[in-house]
Structure 1
Amino acid sequence: MQIEIKRIYDPVDESDGMRVLVDRLWPRGISKEQAHLDLWLKEIAPSNALRKQFCHQAEHWQSFQKGYYQELGENPHVDELKQIATEQPLTLIYAAKDPELNHALVLKNYLYGKEIQS
């Protein structure tokens, strides 16, 4: 499997493979043409309650990851993403500002079967 993550505001590259937006809400300031997406899978995003609890604050990072891993364990779309990643490169597209504390990173780690990161 080849899975990458990328902000939606970053330039599109041929090496992106299949580009899947994994945010529940459409990113501000980006048109559908500019996004160059193959799929918008909003159902894979963290629940609103978990997202609001995290609020992109470092002190909530561990509990956010645990909660999101639990949600992903019950999400039927995980298998869809794994299947895509076995067939072609997959880039998970997100809009969050922080490249090190965002749900796309947690999703990537989950798809690879990695443990929660500290």
Structure 2
Amino acid sequence: MIRCKRVYEPIEQGDGQRVLVDRLWPRNTRKDALHGRWLREVAPSDTLRKAFHAGELDFAGFTRRYQQELAAHPEHWYPLLDLAGKGDLTLLYAGKDTTHNNAQVLADWLETELDRRGPGSSPVCYADGL
């Protein structure tokens, strides 16, 4: 199962492998508190991230462009596909918006790729500790 979760939420036993998928390190977070890995290269490019946060792109446009970036660089997300295929995977992000973020787009992307390989699980994004 692939989950999306804010990096500031408490660690739970069901998190499985935890991977921070943001380009920037989250504010007020110690590196030893992550209890996981940081794969900044799988995050959207700086140009795309800045355009989305500035309101130059709506979420649909952001999603489309981020998916193009993912398609162009499978070497960035393929390790996550392997982790998801072996067990629970939690994609961590710092943003406040729990539904319109790069982790959700990435989770959907990975689920589609897992489905191509065979039976998979559905992405679940937890909002505010739910």
TM-score, normalized by length of structure 2?
A: 0.81
2:27 pairs with 1:28: yes
Query: Partner of 1:92: helix, strand, or coil?
Result: strand
Query: Partner of 1:66: helix, strand, or coil?
Result: helix
Query: Partner of 1:6: helix, strand, or coil?
Result: strand
- Structure 1 residue ranges, 4+ long, deviating more than 6 angstroms after superposition: none
2:6 pairs with 1:7: yes
In the other structure, the counterpart of 1:51 is 49
2:66 pairs with 1:68: yes
Q: 1:58 touches 1:101 (CA, 8 Å); kept in 2?
A: no
The size of the alignment, in residue pairs, is 112
Alignment map for 1:79-98 (pairs within 5 Å): 79-98=78-97
Tell me the distance in 2 between the aligned counterparts of 1:47 and 1:58.
15
1:43-102 deviations in Å (ceiling 9; x for gaps): 000000000111174961111000000000012122111111011210000001100110
Query: Partner of 2:67: helix, strand, or coil?
Result: helix
Letter aligned with residue 70 of structure 1? Q
Tell me the distance in 2 between the aligned counterparts of 1:64 and 1:56.
12
Tell me the distance in 2 between the aligned counterparts of 1:58 and 1:108.
23
In the other structure, the counterpart of 2:126 is none
TM-score, normalized by length of structure 1?
A: 0.89
Q: Which runs of 5+ in 1 are unaligned?
A: none
Q: Percent identity?
A: 44
Q: 2:51 touches 2:57 (CA, 8 Å); kept in 1?
A: no
Q: 1:56 touches 1:102 (CA, 8 Å); kept in 2?
A: no
Tell me the distance in 1 between the aligned counterparts of 2:106 and 2:69.
11
Tell me the distance in 2 between the aligned counterparts of 1:30 and 1:108.
23
